[in-house]
């Protein structure tokens, strides 16, 4: 961070907490500084200078002043507010889940341009409202990649041998999928089975890491996401060492929609 008292950055609003009479603490994921919390004074008063600019999931240009304990939001201008997403309850729940993932995995005051860019891209994908489950899984996969938690899915993580097109044992401690021979020697009690359906999508993701997937990339996979969704949910819970808080509401509204 520079020596300036005021810094400007593009940011996504991840969450808000009311504090004091009319203020909120805003948690941003900023492009230039990683995760930053700052107080927006007077934001709860209708007619406040911030208007609706600090709404959760907005992409904004923010000007933030460093303070003694907490920073203060000086100015905030909306770049994109994803209006389609905001009109769809399930898409809102999905957007909030993505925000919680970034809040959980993003580091305070440490920029990660890849994470910022993929957050932005995912919000745009959700705002188009199509194939949203696919784009969320693709986000989760890349989140594991950029935060150094990506396991091995293509060959056996212990012996390197190729794997048959069948279900396999996944061991989070070994860091990937084990071949039948290695399961006996290296498998731990933390392991679980991952289906060939899940592995197919995971391997597609692994091959696609250096590509920018376009909206038609999801087409061959949208019908077969149940297993990979369950796998990534379990693995995310393992890494975060807890259930993510927003999954309860996400599952509830997805269930009501179906």
Partner 1 sequence: MQYSSGTPPVQRLIEEFSRLPGIGPKSAQRLTYHLIRMPAEQAENLASAILSVKTRITLCSKCFHITENDPCTICSDTTRDQSKICVVEQPLDVMALEKTSTYDGLYHVLHGVISPINGIGPDDLKVKPLLQRLIDNDVTEIIMATNPNLEGEATSMFIHKLIEPSGIKITKPARGLPVGGDLEYADEATLGRAIEGRQNF
Residue of 102, 169, 179, 194 interacting with Zn ion (CB under 5 A): 179
Q: Which does 86 bind (CB under 5 to 8 A by kind): partner 1, Zn ion, none?
A: partner 1
Picking from 44, 60, 46, the residue whose alpha carbon sits closest to that of residue 12 is 60
245 binds partner 1 (CB under 8 A): yes
| Of residues 15 and 132, the one with the C-beta less far from partner 1 | 15
Q: How far apart are CA 141 and CA 24, in angstroms?
A: 32
Please tell me whether residue 248 binds partner 1 under the rule CB under 8 A. yes
d(CA 193, CA 8): 47
Q: Which of Zn ion, partner 1, none sits in contact with 159, Cβ below 5 to 8 A by type?
A: Zn ion
Residue 104: which of 35, 173, 13, 10 has the closest Cα?
A: 35
Cα–Cα distance for residue pair 118/157, rounded to 1 Å: 27
Binds 48: which of Zn ion, partner 1, none (CB < 5-8 Å by kind) = partner 1
Residue 85 binding Zn ion, by CB under 5 A: no
Binding mask of the shown chain, residues 34 to 63, with x at each position contacting Zn ion by CB under 5 A: ------------------------------
Buried b (16+ CB within 10 A) or exposed e, 27-59: bbbbbebbbbbbbbbebbeeebebeebbbbbbb
CB of 206 to Zn ion, least distance (A): 18
Size of the site for Zn ion (CB under 5 A): 5
Strands 59-65 and 6-19, how do they pair?
Answer: antiparallel
Q: For the chain, give me the number of helices (H) and strands (E)?
A: 8, 8
Which of 182, 201, 228, 236 is in the footprint of Zn ion by CB under 5 A? 182
Q: Which residue has the tokens 């279900």?
A: 167
Determine if 115 is a binding residue for partner 1 (CB under 8 A): no
88 Cβ contact list (under 8 Å, min separation 6): 129
CB of 242 to partner 1, least distance (A): 10
- Determine if 227 is a binding residue for Zn ion (CB under 5 A): no
Among residue numbers 10 through 69, which ones bind partner 1 (CB under 8 A)? 14-15, 19-22, 43-48, 50-57
Binding residues among 65-104 for partner 1 as defined by CB under 8 A: 86, 89, 92-93, 96-97, 99-100, 103
Residue written as token pair 């000086």:
74
The secondary structure element, H or E, covering residue 120 is helix 113-127
In the complex with partner 1, the residue whose CB is nearer, 6 or 89, is: 89
CA 155/CA 207 separation, integer angstroms? 13
**Angstrom distances, CA of residue 168 to CA of 185, 200, 225:** 15, 12, 17
Helix (H, G, I), strand (E, B) or coil at 150: coil
Q: Which is nearer to Zn ion, 12 or 182 (CB)?
A: 182
Q: Which residues bind partner 1 (CB under 8 A)?
A: 14-15, 19-22, 43-48, 50-57, 86, 89, 92-93, 96-97, 99-100, 103, 245-246, 248-250, 252-253, 256
């Amino acid at each position: 961070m520079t020596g300036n008292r005021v810094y400007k950055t593009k940011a996504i609003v991840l969450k808000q907490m009311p504090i004091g009479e009319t203020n909120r603490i805003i948690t941003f994921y900023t492009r230039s500084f990683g995760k930053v919390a700052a107080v927006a004074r007077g934001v709860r008063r209708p007619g406040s200078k911030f208007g609706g600019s600090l709404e959760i999931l907005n992409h904004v240009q923010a000007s933030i002043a460093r303070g003694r304990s907490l920073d203060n939001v000086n100015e905030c201008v909306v770049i994109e507010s994803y209006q389609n997403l905001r009109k769809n309850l399930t898409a809102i729940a999905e957007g909030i889940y993505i925000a919680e993932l970034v809040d959980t995995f993003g580091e305070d005051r440490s920029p990660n341009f890849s994470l910022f860019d993929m957050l932005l891209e995912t919000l745009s994908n959700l705002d188009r409202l199509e194939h949203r489950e696919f784009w969320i899984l693709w986000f989760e996969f890349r989140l594991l990649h950029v935060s150094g938690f990506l396991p091995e899915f293509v060959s056996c993580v212990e012996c390197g041998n190729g794997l048959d097109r069948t279900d396999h044992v996944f061991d989070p401690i070994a860091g990937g999928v084990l071949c039948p021979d290695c399961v006996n020697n290296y498998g731990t009690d933390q392991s679980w089975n991952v289906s060939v359906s899940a592995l197919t999508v995971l391997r597609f993701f692994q091959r696609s890491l250096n590509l920018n997937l376009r909206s038609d990339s999801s087409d061959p996979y949208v019908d077969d996401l149940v297993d990979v969704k369950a796998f990534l949910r379990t693995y995310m819970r393992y890494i975060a060492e807890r259930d993510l808080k927003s999954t309860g509401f996400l599952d509830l509204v997805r269930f009501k929609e179906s």
